[in-house]
């Protein structure tokens, strides 16, 4: 049960993060959604959920902006008094092979994906340790687990998050926290809209289910992990990829 749990979800306006935020809110959590630009979508999600009696508050800012993260978490704590669930989902990609990856793309992807996750963990964990409970779910990718040739900066940034997940779990699980990662395969969201059909077909061809994944399926996995009842899961990377083979 996650009723009345306070859940921070980054990247909550589109794709996977939106479905996660909606799933947690409709299951009774008080959700705090973080987003970068999509004001209209944030308002629409808020209106739709509040009409049905569910609770979501949005904060606009960049996950890679340390000061924004610090002040947001301070405000959440002063408003709700606790944070039970943190879903580090916001992410971007600028895909290329290693020798074609330019420094600016390397930095942007690292600062958003790894930097954002790091800043939120840094700010939230002290409160969770004080509470002696907390649940962190970091969104990574099969690229972090399998290594994909044309996703150099993206795969490395997600691999770094896997390292962070494992290290934090070792330190903080004895304090009542559970810290896991979810590694989706190719999920139908705006992030993959620019991926050429040839590449998508190739991905599907090497996937057991012969299909792309859906954001709702990822949200179901996050809900499963977010529920605390008697859970023994921590320090795990959950692959959610329809059986992707390479
Ligand atoms: N789609 C896939 O195939 C796939 C596969 C494996 C892993 N993932 C991971 O799953 C996560 C979500 O992916 P998605 O496909 O749902 O992405 P998406 O559709 O592109 O949505 C990205 C979300 O992150 C927010 N965001 C981006 N940069 C941000 C920043 N600097 N600060 C704050 N918010 C920021 C966006 O906010 P705005 O709407 O305001 O721009 C949006 O809500 C990412 O970490 C991605 O790497 C995706």
Q: Is the CB of 186 under 6 A from ligand 1?
A: yes
- Single out the catalytic residue among 59, 118, 127, 154: 154
145-156 mean pLDDT: 93
For residue 246, is pLDDT > 80? Answer: no
Ligand 1 centroid, distance to 81 Cα (angstroms): 28
Give per-residue pLDDT as tens, 105-137: 999 999 999 999 999 999 999 999 999 999 999
At 43, phi and psi to the nearest 5? -65, -40
| Tens digits of residue pLDDT in 51-78 | 999 999 999 999 999 999 999 999 999 9
The minimum-distance atom of ligand 1 relative to the CA of 113 is: 45
The Cα–Cα gap between 220 and 222 comes to 5
Q: Is 154 a catalytic residue?
A: yes
Locate the ligand 1 atom nearest the alpha carbon of residue 18 and give its number. Answer: 43
Q: Which atom of ligand 1 is nearest to the CA of 213?
A: 3
pLDDT at 139: 98
**Sole residue written with tokens 């590694």:** 183
11-65 pLDDT, tens per residue? Answer: 999 999 999 999 999 999 999 999 999 999 999 999 999 999 999 999 999 999 9
Phi, psi of 226 (to 5 degrees): -75, -20
3-class DSSP state of 154: helix
What are the residue ranges spanned by the domains of the chain?
6-228
The second-level CATH assignment, the architecture, of 6-228 is 3-Layer(aba) Sandwich (3.40)
Kindly give the residue spans of alpha helices, DSSP state H, lying in 132-191.
142-146, 152-172
């Amino acid at each position: 049960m996650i009723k009345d749990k306070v859940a921070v979800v980054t990247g909550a306006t589109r794709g996977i993060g939106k479905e996660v935020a909606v799933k947690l809110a409709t299951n009774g959590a008080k959700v705090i959604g973080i987003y970068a630009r999509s004001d209209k979508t944030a308002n629409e999600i808020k209106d739709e959920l509040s009409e049905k009696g569910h609770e979501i508050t949005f904060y606009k800012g960049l996950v890679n902006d340390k000061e924004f993260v610090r002040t947001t978490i301070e405000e959440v704590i002063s408003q709700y008094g606790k944070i039970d669930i943190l879903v580090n989902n916001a992410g971007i990609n600028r895909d290329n092979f290693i020798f074609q990856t330019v420094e600016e793309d390397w930095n942007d992807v690292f600062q958003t994906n790894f930097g954002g996750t790091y800043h939120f963990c840094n700010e939230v964990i002290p409160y969770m340790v004080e509470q002696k409970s907390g649940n962190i779910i970091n969104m990574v990718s099969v690229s972090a687990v399998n290594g994909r040739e044309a996703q150099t900066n993206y795969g490395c940034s997600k691999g770094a998050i896997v390292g962070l997940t494992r290290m934090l779990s070792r330190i903080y699980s004895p304090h009542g926290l559970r810290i896991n990662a979810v590694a989706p395969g190719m999920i139908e969201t705006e992030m993959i809209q620019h991926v050429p059909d040839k590449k998508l077909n190739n991905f599907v061809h090497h996937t057991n289910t012969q299909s792309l994944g859906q954001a709702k399926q990822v949200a179901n996995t996050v809900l499963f992990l977010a529920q605390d009842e008697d859970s023994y899961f921590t320090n795990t990377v959950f692959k959610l990829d329809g059986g992707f083979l390479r």
